[in-house]
Amino acid sequence: MRRRRRRVTATVATAVTLIAGAATMPSAIASPGMGERPPHRVVLFAIDGFDAEYLDGRVPLPNIEALARRGSVTTGTGVMSTVTNQSWSSVATGTYPDVTGNAAYYLDRESGVVEGQSRDIAVETLGESLTAQGRTLASAQWFILENRGVTYGNPDALYTQPGGECSQRADDAVAILSGEPVDSGGTEVTVPEVPDLLAVYCSDLDSAGHATGDDSAEIDQALTHVDEQIGRVVDATRRAGTFGRTTFVLVGDHGMTSYDHVNGPQVEAAIDDAGFEAEWVSSGDSPSEGTEVVLAGGGLTSVHLVGDLAGDAEALAQVEEAITSVEGIGGVYDKTAQAEMRMAGVYGDLVVEPEPGWAMFTGDQPYTRGRHGTSQELELAFLLSGAGIRPGAAPHNPRLVDVAPTISHLLGVRPPSASEGRVLEESLLPPRR
């Protein structure tokens, strides 16, 4: 059996370095010829849970490898926390969660309710900036742009949500590229021409990782399936006559870490033993009367001191000491560390992550599973290929926030208005004169 190398839990400094990545590189630059329609288009493969280590040769990936030969495939860096909607929000806007405002699994102080994942984004998305500048786009279930640039039934900015596996999303993408009708929210829609941006979202790897961990036969099967669907979409661009003018971008939103043990109950018990009333609170629920320490999350846990303990620095220090005494705790980040990692400001007084092999859940099962949300899942697959891309020139420390400005540059338009990412110009061919 293949042995996956053990991940090293990131310290605060390491996590900050990973997230900052190429912060010292040039910021996003204006695109030459902005406003003129460029000769090429972009296909974005948004692959949920595509851990960078899945590119280790565990299974043949002929279609991804063929794309890499026309560009590069490397390791990109995500955002904290490494949950799905928060990560895709940063891809779609070119900025970090402290600006997008997207967060998950925390206690909302105003409502008193623990919030799960949402699609709330406080700034302009790539979909909105493209439509505002007269570009066309379509999304085969890349849901983060739904009603934020693409809508059901709109042939110029089309959203479809077929559900199912990656093959069903690829079916829609192939139909769009072929000028065939697709079901868009119950309406048959035919896109009049190949869109400037086509996004294809697949969640097979994430589902397999959660169910069986990051080193399983199910992961291998999902990788093979996703690669086949990527090949189908690429072939469809050939039939459409746009292959030579298409840039292909593939990016994961986060990695995946296997675990065999949980320590959620132990954390709650340790806080109780320190003299405070702790409670795990699920999304959509409120803490019970008398609760002093609210625990929300699972991959990454948000810890909130409430009631009379709110703002009590001494009590916070005691709670942190109790948490760190529990086996399997990998890191504890206070508000200063959270800010340095560009996390959304709504998280608790502390956020806590487990060591690899552990998860901060309250229920256990006698088999390996996978989780994400922590600094251990910041590394993800990142591929650039095709038109406008320099073969063999991998970008330096690419980040999720660099995707939107780079796509915008390739399409000759301005990036989303709040974008902080940079154009990955070291991987781009110089413009034709």
Instruction: Write the CATH number for 265.
Output: 3.30.1360
Q: What is the pLDDT, as a whole number, of residue 33?
A: 43
Lowest mean pLDDT among 6-20, 110-124, 215-229: 6-20
> Going by C-beta distance under 8 Å and a sequence separation of 6 or more, which residues neighbour residue 286?
112, 113, 114
Q: What is the pLDDT, as a whole number, of residue 365?
A: 79
Q: What is the pLDDT, as a whole number, of residue 20?
A: 57
As a whole number, the mean pLDDT across the chain is: 93
Q: In this structure, is residue 141 part of a structural domain?
A: yes
**Which of 212, 290, 288, 252 has the alpha carbon at shortest distance from 381?**
252
SS3 425: helix
Relative orientation angle of helices 264-273 and 313-324, to the nearest 10 degrees: 130
Q: Among residues of the chain, what percentage have pLDDT more than 90?
A: 88
Average pLDDT over residues 142-152: 98
SS3 170: helix
Q: In this structure, is residue 17 part of a structural domain?
A: yes
Average pLDDT over residues 214-231: 98
> Going by C-beta distance under 8 Å and a sequence separation of 6 or more, which residues neighbour residue 408?
28, 31, 126, 129, 130, 414, 415, 416, 419
Predicted confidence band at 29 (pLDDT cuts at 50, 70, 90)? very low
* Listed residues 370, 397, 419: the one ending a domain: 370
Task: Tell me: do 217 and 287 sit in the same domain.
Answer: no
Query: How is 98-150 classified by DSSP, letter by letter?
Result: HHH----SEEETTTTEEE------SS--HHHHHHHTT--EEEES-GGGBTTTB
Predicted confidence band at 354 (pLDDT cuts at 50, 70, 90)? very high
Evaluate if residue 1 carries a pLDDT over 70: no
Average pLDDT over residues 190-219: 98
Average pLDDT over residues 247-252: 98
Burial 183-221 (b: 16+ CB within 10 A, else e): ebeeeebebeebbbbbbbbbbbbbbbbeebbbbbeebee
Task: Tell me: do 267 and 176 sit in the same domain.
Answer: no
Task: Tell me: do 392 and 327 sit in the same domain.
Answer: no
Q: pTM of the entire structure?
A: 0.94
Q: In this structure, is residue 26 part of a structural domain?
A: yes
Task: Tell me: do 384 and 365 sit in the same domain.
Answer: no
Task: Tell me: do 241 and 361 sit in the same domain.
Answer: no
pLDDT top residue among 25 and 399: 399
Evaluate if residue 28 carries a pLDDT over 70: no
Lowest mean pLDDT among 12-21, 135-144, 317-326, 362-371: 12-21
Task: Tell me: do 129 and 227 sit in the same domain.
Answer: yes
Evaluate if residue 16 carries a pLDDT over 80: no
Evaluate if residue 183 carries a pLDDT over 70: yes
Task: Tell me: do 223 and 250 sit in the same domain.
Answer: yes
Q: Domain containing 88: what range?
A: 12-103+119-257+373-427
Evaluate if residue 107 carries a pLDDT over 80: yes
Q: In this structure, is residue 266 part of a structural domain?
A: yes
Q: In this structure, is residue 1 part of a structural domain?
A: no
Q: What is the pLDDT, as a whole number, of residue 298?
A: 76
Q: Which residues pair with 293 in a beta bridge?
A: 278, 305
Task: Tell me: do 285 and 243 sit in the same domain.
Answer: no
Task: Tell me: do 345 and 282 sit in the same domain.
Answer: yes
First to last CA, the chain: 53
Evaluate if residue 26 carries a pLDDT over 60: no
Task: Tell me: do 294 and 385 sit in the same domain.
Answer: no
Q: How many folded domains does the chain comprise?
A: 2
Task: Tell me: do 390 and 418 sit in the same domain.
Answer: yes
Average pLDDT over residues 316-334: 98
Q: In this structure, is residue 108 part of a structural domain?
A: no
Q: What is the pLDDT, as a whole number, of residue 374?
A: 98
Q: What is the pLDDT, as a whole number, of residue 181?
A: 98
Task: Tell me: do 244 and 356 sit in the same domain.
Answer: no
